């Protein structure tokens, strides 16, 4: 979004130091923490999720991205999008984004499930995620004229036992025109994460709301395969190189404590590695060699529909919703 204004800060609240917070996760250049709030006038206050830059991180891009996310999120109001709470500062002056806290991110849930022997998520759970994300994307694409730009399991939050599904992380979102095409501008560069990116993004072609739908289809695949998409090559190619070295070589005195470590899921960008993107990204990954019952048929249909190579053959979020909510489709709880 061009000429993004700095979000309004809440001057009445101060974020505690990191050692007094519980770590929830990581992002590119940021840590996410749980902030417990004291009762106000006898009323119990729900906890917040606090996203803040690493201490000593003077990267202007990360700082601007956090401000942009706060400004965008403040304007969004939808049950399937994480709620904005405040834009705060730490005692040492760092900006922080306070958000609604959910139980866990889907990416971490998939990692934990992969470590066990449970196998793919039940089809009903995948379809619940499919419906929640489709509602969020339909709201963004049609009502707000926004491309999320980084749809992946690590940007999907789950409350309880799939009681709520919420999309988060709007730091790289882009404006759309009335036809769903990304608006041209100096700051209208698609960032995303390569392994979830649509082929037209990697090719440098016209980017539309259909790019989000390709990534959406890969999230459904993740819940079956229990791994990130298009990741069958040597993983050391991702977890080595300048980005990882830069993080690992940070002066430990610049970090508040050992909890503010890098999130290697945020380093899943192979564009700077000696690997052809088209060998591993921007394509429909094969299904894992597992037995899937007939109840998975709607999931597989959605996955294949949304990961068509030609964006014109992919559905809009509204079309996915219409299909999921059709009275002839009893597969969504």
92 is catalytic: no
CA–CA separation, 284 vs 196, rounded Å? 10
Place of tokens 């923490």: 33
> Do 107 and 265 form a contact (C-beta atoms < 8 A)?
yes
* CB-based contact 148:212 (threshold 8 Å): yes
CA pair distance 85, 46, nearest whole angstrom? 11
Residue 136 exposed, middle or buried by CB count within 10 Å (0-12, 13-18, 19+): buried
* Nearest to 57, CA basis, from 85, 102, 96: 96
Q: Which two tokens stand for residue 2?
A: 């061009």
Do residues 51 and 34 lie in contact, with contact meaning Cβ atoms separated by under 8 Å?
no
Sheet holding 48-53, edge to edge: 14-15, 84-90, 95-100, 48-53, 30-35, 22-27
**CB count in 10 Å sphere of residue 54:** 22
- C-beta pairs of 116-120 under 8 Å, 24+ apart in sequence: 119/226, 119/290, 120/223, 120/224, 120/225, 120/226, 120/288, 120/290, 120/292, 120/296
Catalytic residue among 95, 125, 150, 212: 150
Let me know the angle formed at the C-alpha of 111 by 107 and 115, rounded to the nearest 5 degrees: 165
Query: 248 exposed, middle or buried (CB, 10 Å; 0-12, 13-18, 19+)?
Result: exposed
Tell me which residue of 205, 211, 212, 270 sits closest to 238, measured CA to CA.
270
Q: Which two tokens stand for residue 7?
A: 């979000």
Residues catalogued as catalytic: 150
């Amino acid at each position: 979004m061009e000429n993004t204004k700095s979000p309004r800060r809440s001057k009445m609240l101060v974020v505690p130091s990191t050692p007094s917070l519980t770590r929830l996760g990581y992002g590119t250049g940021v840590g996410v923490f749980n902030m417990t709030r004291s009762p106000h006038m006898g009323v119990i206050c729900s906890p917040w999720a606090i996203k803040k830059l690493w201490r000593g991180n003077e990267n202007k891009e990360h700082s601007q991205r956090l401000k942009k996310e706060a400004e965008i999120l403040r304007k969004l109001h939808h049950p399937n999008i994480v709620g904005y709470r405040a834009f705060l500062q730490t005692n040492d002056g760092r900006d922080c984004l306070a958000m609604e806290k959910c139980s866990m991110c889907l990416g971490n849930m998939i990692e934990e499930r992969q470590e066990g022997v449970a196998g793919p998520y039940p089809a009903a759970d995948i379809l619940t995620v499919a419906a929640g994300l489709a509602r969020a994307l339909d709201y963004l694409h049609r009502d707000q004229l926004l491309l999320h730009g980084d749809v992946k399991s690590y940007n999907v939050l789950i409350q309880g036992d799939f009681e709520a599904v919420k999309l988060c992380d709007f730091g790289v979102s882009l404006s759309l025109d009335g036809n769903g095409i990304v608006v041209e501008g100096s700051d209208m560069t698609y960032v995303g994460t390569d392994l979830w990116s649509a082929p037209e993004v990697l090719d440098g072609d016209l980017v539309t709301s259909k790019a989000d739908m390709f990534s959406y289809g890969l999230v459904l695949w993740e819940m079956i395969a229990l791994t990130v998409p298009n990741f069958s090559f040597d993983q050391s190619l991702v977890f080595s190189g300048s980005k990882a070295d830069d993080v690992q070589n940070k002066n430990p005195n610049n970090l508040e404590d050992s909890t503010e470590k890098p999130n290697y899921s945020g380093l899943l960008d192979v564009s700077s590695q000696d690997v052809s993107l088209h060998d591993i990204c921007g394509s429909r990954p094969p299904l894992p060699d597992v037995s899937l019952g007939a109840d998975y048929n709607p999931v597989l249909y959605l996955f294949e529909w949304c990961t068509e190579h030609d964006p014109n053959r992919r559905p809009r979020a509204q079309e996915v919703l219409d299909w999921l909510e059709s009275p002839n489709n009893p597969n969504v709880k």
